[in-house]
Amino acid sequence: MARTCLRRRVPVMFDSGIRRGADIFKALALGARAVPVGRLYLWGLAVAGEEGVREVLLNLLADLDLTIALSGYACCHELDAAALCKSDSSELLRQPQL
C-alpha cells in the first residue's frame, strides 16, 4: 500500500466518491490524512446556498460520528486497517458462489 512505502512522509488524501460518513471512515482507516468533500459541498450550495452547505457538512459529520461509535471507536485517530474487517468475521464477508 502507498502509505507503507511513503512511511507517512507524504500526506495521503482520498478524493473520490465521498458521500457518507462510512466512506470517510474507510478512507481514514486505510491511512488517508484528509478526505475532501467538494461534491457534497456543491450539492448543498446549489440547493440552499450557505445554509445548504452547513446542513450537508453537519449531516456528514453526524454520520461519521455515528459510524465511528457503532464500530466501537471513540475517535478517528484510533482507526487503522483493522477497523474494516475483524479476523473472526471474515467468513461473513465471503460472497456465495452463484
pLDDT tens string 75-95: 999 999 889 976 555 554 455
Confidence of residue 10 (pLDDT cuts 50, 70, 90): confident
Helix/strand/coil for 7: coil
Closest CA to 10 of 22, 1, 2: 2
Dist. CA 9–CA 7, nearest whole Å: 6
* pLDDT recorded at residue 38: 84
pTM value?
0.76
Per-domain boundaries in the chain: 2-6+10-93
